[in-house]
A and B are shown apart, each in its own frame.
Chain A
């Protein structure tokens, strides 16, 4: 039994200024298992991984690694050292060089600084890719591959470095289902080779599909380690959240309550198109209605809502707001007409990372108020204070730079920014992506609450269950075209899948 264990972390503690990130956390990884590390944002998953890979020094505790069939204590000081010990990490954001070839990416920064034999490098890379069944050419430039392929290249790189422990930090959050499936078959393959895989994800389905064991963390403490078969989903969620079970299951059973399109449409577009969304489409949303765009990644759902907000250059279409013809040519026009847009990519389009939570919250309203009319400090603080309390944003102070907040709290700040503008129509593109279960539930509740108050909402999520829970109408997209619309009784997971796939039910 002892020999099965490849990695054992015991009593790990780590504190940051003002925060106890980890407290006596233990973690055990066995050979050939896929082990899910679960917890809400801020539970300490990332910190634990960063301690393991030497990004952060630990305050106390021990790490043991199986070398030559016996556990030896290791003290990793840098990610480079971790790699040499056989601990490799593949992060959510690809950390490779997009303008180098696949082969170069696989061998870059490894071992000695001797001259490179390009021929051997390419040959070796091709061998590994073939062995792992990854359909890319070694000489292909990395950014010509899809995100999923890039991630697999990152894994191939890790595997070739004789890794014993492979850490996948949210590898699937930007992949569509087919890509996830490819990634999973690669993982199963690695598993059969005896690699221990630590898998961090927010997608519960994926955990149950592929993992053997789950370790749950909450608030920097170990909740427990479980066999997957002993822990049903609802229990897992409640363990992660530490909240009462009814809360979660109640929301899951809840019928969609959003209003209907009848009555005056708040927003109406005819033949709308943008440079990113060339297929003109018609769309309307009624007061207090919650609808959603669904489809696979790349189906054009984000591009469509971006066109509504005029985030990309508009190439055509007529827009009516509250039954009046209006022109929306740039985001500021949309904002003036009471439209808010929470973008899909929080990091690239949402937060202003170096600025404070306060400045991030007031940004949109400030722009609407005008260049020559800045809010006074007191006004800005009052707004920030109100919304930090309202949404329960966890931040040391409103002057903290937003980049030091967890993903879920950053998302709440962006939400606060748009709620502050008092929009009549709010577009939420993947508001729950990459954030913890607790905040997800909160955001869904908030959507329904806003709808009750008469705000129209377009909601996009990769998780169909989430869409079913919140939307009263679903627009289904495939290959950048709207292929169907589902309402009321028609809205079932099966129906959606079939519509996306383009088959009759």
Chain B
């Protein structure tokens, strides 16, 4: 029991998982049917799963994918990339522009995605070079694309907000015929498996943390801080392109002004809720992903409670304050102290009980 508590207080996943658990329990009490999954037939005639749970998982995919890249950047560069959503708009615009100049087939789709990946990685590398080589604070360095990104996206499609429609596009943004799970969820799972493999099969995790904690040590142990930071930005670039393309497929058009608008703040928040220090160093990718789902679950819950959409942000803020305060070290220490006070005497009691 004691060691379990110790493990729980040490693991950074405890608070986010607990918050998620509370959200689930609260919803179940409020409406036992809340998480029930129904089988329905959608407009395209596919048999699909519907329900709040599916819409939470589906809705959070883009932010969850972005939070993977953001976690790596946060850990190694001790700062955040606030341009992710704007660069996603660029990536989405490139994606649409390639798609519209060709007939949409699977190879074209892949080519379009590849193009948007390359463009997004290049823009991300621009940020990376400013941060890693010129040592500009991440927030300032990425402020450039944060403000210019959507304008660049505007030029790519000549200021228009073109639509793309094809069964292929709907099967990426919605459902693949025959598979009842929304495709964005599948893509997210694939991404999570990929990043897990990368972290398992390489030293990316260790090197990133060493660079984030102590660059001097990293250098003297043969790790190049510049390369690790650039790697984080490259991976984030791929995440950004994926998130951008998924969102384009979901809504069927590119609107450079509104695509993933304000998502960067949700992404940064996911990283923070996941128990990762925004000042860099130790990280846990899964924490950030759970953070993204917490935010989405919260949004869906609030909508289900008929909170007016204008007020949702305020309610969200309140819950997030609670989560962030609870995961602060100050509260953690307090909980440990209280636990000790409450349970310290237990062994003596047991001894007495045995003696009696």
> Is B210 interfacial (CB 8 A cutoff)?
yes
> Is B229 interfacial (CB 8 A cutoff)?
no
Which residue, A335, A345, A364, A367, has most C-beta atoms of chain B within 10 A?
A: A367
Within 8 A of A (CB), among B194-246: 200-204, 206-207, 209-210, 213-214, 216-224
Main secondary structure of the interface of B (DSSP, over half): helix
The answer for the CA separation of A196 and B26 in the assembled complex, in Å, is: 61
Contact A331 B203 (CB under 8 A): no
Residues of chain A with a CB closer than 8 A to B206's CB? 359, 363, 366, 374
Contact B202 A374 (CB under 8 A): yes
Contacts A348-B216, A352-B213, A355-B209: A364 and B203 contacting too (C-beta < 8 A)?
no
Contacts A351-B214, A354-B282, A355-B209: A372 and B202 contacting too (C-beta < 8 A)?
yes
Contact A374 B220 (CB under 8 A): no
Residues of chain B with a CB closer than 8 A to A367's CB? 203, 207, 221-223
The answer for the CA separation of A363 and B203 in the assembled complex, in Å, is: 10
Within 8 A of B (CB), among A296-337: 309, 311, 330-332, 335
Within 8 A of A (CB), among B237-274: none
The answer for the CA separation of A368 and B222 in the assembled complex, in Å, is: 8
Contact B209 A354 (CB under 8 A): yes
Contact A374 B222 (CB under 8 A): no
Contact B220 A343 (CB under 8 A): yes
Kindly provide the distance from the CB of A118 to the nearest chain B CB, expressed in whole angstroms.
31
> Is A341 interfacial (CB 8 A cutoff)?
yes
Closest chain A residue to B205 by CB distance? Answer: A374
Q: Number of B interface residues at 8 Å Cβ cutoff, please give it.
A: 22
Per-residue 0/1 for B170-201: is the Cβ within 8 Å of any A Cβ (1 yes, 0 no)?
00000000000000000000000000000011
Interface size band for A: 20 to 34
Contact A364 B282 (CB under 8 A): no
Residues of chain A with a CB closer than 8 A to B216's CB? 343, 345, 348-349
Residues of chain B with a CB closer than 8 A to A366's CB? 203, 206
The answer for the CA separation of A341 and B216 in the assembled complex, in Å, is: 13
Within 8 A of B (CB), among A106-147: none
Closest chain A residue to B340 by CB distance? Answer: A17
Kindly provide the distance from the CB of A479 to the nearest chain B CB, expressed in whole angstroms.
26
The answer for the CA separation of A350 and B222 in the assembled complex, in Å, is: 12
Contact B202 A331 (CB under 8 A): no
Residues of chain A with a CB closer than 8 A to B218's CB? 352
When the two chains form the complex, which single residue of A309, A350, A371 contacts B217, counting CB atoms closer than 8 Å?
A350
When the two chains form the complex, which single residue of B207, B213, B219, B282 contacts A371, counting CB atoms closer than 8 Å?
B207
Within 8 A of B (CB), among A365-413: 366-368, 370-372, 374
> Is B281 interfacial (CB 8 A cutoff)?
yes
> Is A170 interfacial (CB 8 A cutoff)?
no
Contact A349 B217 (CB under 8 A): yes
> Is A353 interfacial (CB 8 A cutoff)?
yes
Residues of chain B with a CB closer than 8 A to A335's CB? 221-222
Contact A371 B202 (CB under 8 A): yes
Contacts A352-B209, A352-B214, A354-B281: A311 and B220 contacting too (C-beta < 8 A)?
yes
When the two chains form the complex, which single residue of B201, B219, B220 contacts A372, counting CB atoms closer than 8 Å?
B201
Contact B203 A330 (CB under 8 A): no
Contact B282 A374 (CB under 8 A): no
The answer for the CA separation of A350 and B220 in the assembled complex, in Å, is: 8
Residues of chain B with a CB closer than 8 A to A343's CB? 216, 220
Enumerate chain A interface residues (CB-CB to B < 8 A): 309, 311, 330-332, 335, 341, 343, 345, 348-355, 359, 363-364, 366-368, 370-372, 374, 417
Closest 6 A-B residue pairs measured CB to CB?
Answer: A332-B222, A349-B216, A367-B222, A374-B203, A352-B213, A348-B216
Question: Could you pull out 10 A-B pairs where Cβ atoms are within 8 angstroms?
Answer: A331-B219, A349-B216, A352-B210, A352-B214, A355-B282, A364-B221, A366-B203, A367-B223, A372-B202, A372-B203
Known: A367-B207, A372-B201. 16 other contacts (CB 8 A): A311-B219, A311-B220, A330-B222, A331-B219, A332-B222, A343-B220, A349-B214, A350-B217, A352-B214, A354-B213, A355-B209, A355-B213, A363-B217, A371-B204, A372-B202, A374-B202
Enumerate chain B interface residues (CB-CB to A < 8 A): 200-204, 206-207, 209-210, 213-214, 216-224, 281-282
